[in-house]
Structure 1
């Protein structure tokens, strides 16, 4: 079984650029206020979801390993 990620969007930081929904339409959606939210709180590890997090201009997306909380993105420094 592969890794599972917990996906969060900090809506107080999100500017509604839509880059995440464009990069991973199965992983993110914009609501009527044009703010992003994950389609599901947990997902299988997926390159498109990681690309979406990396493309967020305000770094509003956080990915952690489900169960352990270990950071996936942004990486620990």
Structure 2
């Protein structure tokens, strides 16, 4: 089965182990979502998920930045 994303707990474990290679933030409708890549340039982008939704979203970049900073993500690219 192909993985579609990670919940917050899994993401924190991956960050702590150094497995996350890249991170980007992109629009998801009128909100923002976080995507991570674990492998090299050919690897798929995987969404951060919530318990209720396939993609966890944030209303503003400010709140998303607080989440990423708290999770240990040092930098991310923004796609609008």
What TM-score, normalized to structure 2?
0.25
Higher helix share: 2
What TM-score, normalized to structure 1?
0.25
